[in-house]
Amino acid sequence: MDILTGRLTRLTAVNADTDAELIARGSCDSQFWRLAHTDPALPVLPKYVKQQLEERSLDLQGFAIRTLTDDRLIGYIGLYTIFWPQREAIMGINIGERDFWGKGYGTDALRVLLRFGFEELNLRRVSLSFLEGNERAMRSYEKCGFRLEGRERNAWAYDGRRWDEIYMGLLREEWQETNNEQ
C-alpha cells in the first residue's frame, strides 16, 4: 500500500508548471474562495500563482489531490505549518473543482493526509480552522475524527456581518481509535 494513496484520490507533488491554473481559476470563484480562505477574494493570474509555488519553502508539506481514476487535479491539501518540537501541524484543504464537491473526495484526501501525518511524520496532533457556515467541511472533518475545540467569535467580516472562526483538533490516540473502527 502506498501511504499517499486513498480509495478515490492520491496525493502528489504540486507541479508549478501545470497546477497553477486550478488555483488561479479558484481565485476567480468568490464562493469557493470564501470556503477555502479567510483573506479577501482576489483574482490572480496563473503566472503569479506559478511564481508563488516555485518560491514556496520545501519544508511545507503541501500536496496536489488527484483522482485515482483519471489522475485529474481537483484540489490541494497540506500540513502547512508544523510545530516540530510539539509535533503539531495545522492542516488545510480545498477542492477547487466543483464537480468533486460533496462526493467524498475531500474526506478521502483528508484521511490520506492524516495517515501521512500520524504514521510518517509521527505527529501528536493535527489542528485546523474554518469559517462558520461551512457545514460540508465540518461534516468531513467530523467523519475523520476531528473534535470541536472552540471558536474565535466575530473573527472575520464580509457581507456586512461578522463570522466566527471554528477550531477543531485531532489527537494521535483519537485518530488511532477512529482508524481501528473503520
Partner 1 sequence: MSNEQLAMGNDQGLLVGRLVRLVAVNSEKDAEAIARWDVDSEYMRQLSSRAQLPSQAKKIKEYIEKEQIDDPRTIAFAVRTLADDRMIGFVAFDGIDWPHSAAFVAIGIGDPAYRGNGYGTDAMRVMLRYGFQELNLYRVQLNTFSYNERAVKSYLKAGFVSEGLQRGMLLRDGQRWDYIYMGLLRDEWLTLTNEP
C-alpha cell at 54: 516555485
C-alpha cell at 39: 483573506
* CA-based nearest residue to 90, from 149, 15, 135, 34: 149
If the CB atoms of residues 21 and 119 are measured against partner 1, the closer one turns out to be: 119
* CA-based nearest residue to 3, from 84, 122, 95: 122
User: 102-121: which residues touch partner 1 (CB under 8 A)?
Assistant: 120-121
Exposed (0-12), middle (13-18) or buried (19+): which is 156, by Cβ within 10 Å?
middle
Query: Is residue 55 near partner 1 by the rule CB under 8 A?
Result: no
Q: Which region among 83-91, 98-106, 107-115, 139-147 touches partner 1 (by CB under 8 A)?
A: 83-91
Dist CA 101 CA 103 (whole Å): 6
Give the total of residues touching partner 1 (CB under 8 A).
Answer: 9
Query: Is residue 59 near partner 1 by the rule CB under 8 A?
Result: yes
Q: Which region among 85-93, 106-114, 133-141, 149-157 touches partner 1 (by CB under 8 A)?
A: 85-93
Q: Which of 85, 135, 160, 161 binds partner 1 (CB under 8 A)?
A: 85
Dist CA 173 CA 171 (whole Å): 6
Q: Which of 15, 52, 56, 84 binds partner 1 (CB under 8 A)?
A: 84
If the CB atoms of residues 122 and 180 are measured against partner 1, the closer one turns out to be: 122
Check: CB of residue 65 under 8 Å from CB of residue 77: yes
The residue count of the chain comes to 182
Q: Which of 51, 86, 154, 176 binds partner 1 (CB under 8 A)?
A: 86
Site of interaction with partner 1 (CB under 8 A): 59, 82, 84-87, 120-122
